Copies of this chain bind each other. A is one copy, B any other.
Amino acid sequence: MDFLKKRILEGATFIPPDIIKVDMFLNHLIDVDLLNEIGREFCDRFSDKMEKINKILTIEASGIGISCIAAQYFSVPVLFAKKGQNKNVGQNTYSASVFSFTKNKSFEVFVSKNYLGPEDHVLIIDDFLANGEAVRGLMSIVDQAGATLEGVGIVIEKGFQDGGAKLRSEGVRIESLALIKGIEDGKPIFADM
């Protein structure tokens, strides 16, 4: 994961108290070569689960590119939870409410019941883990479907917020490629991993 720490140190900007801005390579302008390194790393981290995982579940929008590139290493399809129920998803859905601290509001996410069921073994992937709201929403959908959660892959975890710690204490396997435990003088402090 040194490639990612390097990229964060060189490129990211930090806005107090808790914004880590990576829109220059991860969630607005997307460096697809970097996504390939991330995808390979997720594949390594979950190599013991490769035979089980048959679907990657993510949430629009920033998780989609990361998941699609990673899916090439797992040879599985990607399913993304949609914000808003529209004609393309239909009425037959699982749903969960997710509070976004970035946008300061709750929104509902939807997944069609056609594409997730008890036979599925799911890897959840997302760009950030902070308070854990998005991951919990996706976990609820996995649960509603009767599917099995095999793990959660996160690109950047904000270790100074408690989502990751709480989820791990509940037995959820989370692999975060970069774990930032704090920001000092405008620079990230990485946890030893």
**Least CB separation from A115: chain B residue:** B29
A89 at the B interface (CB under 8 A): yes
A152 at the B interface (CB under 8 A): no
Contacts of A96 in B (CB 8 A): none
A103 at the B interface (CB under 8 A): yes
The answer to whether A77 touches B114 (Cβ under 8 A) is: no
The answer to whether B102 touches A28 (Cβ under 8 A) is: no
A82 and B87 CA atoms in complex are apart in Å by 21
CB proximity to B under 8 Å, residues A30-77: 30-32, 35-36, 60-61, 64-65, 67-69, 71-72, 76-77
How many residues belonging to A are interface residues under a CB distance threshold of 8 Å?
Answer: 41
A32 and B35 CA atoms in complex are apart in Å by 15
Which of A16-24, A135-143, A158-166, A176-184 lines the interface with chain B? A16-24
The answer to whether A87 touches B19 (Cβ under 8 A) is: yes
A169 at the B interface (CB under 8 A): no
Interface pairs (21), CB distance under 8 Å: A23-B88, A23-B90, A23-B112, A24-B114, A28-B112, A29-B77, A29-B79, A29-B112, A30-B68, A30-B71, A30-B77, A31-B77, A32-B71, A32-B76, A60-B64, A61-B82, A65-B67, A65-B78, A69-B69, A84-B103, A88-B102
> A residues within 8 Å of B by Cβ?
15, 19, 21, 23-24, 27-32, 35-36, 60-61, 64-65, 67-69, 71-72, 76-80, 82-84, 86-90, 102-103, 111-112, 114-115
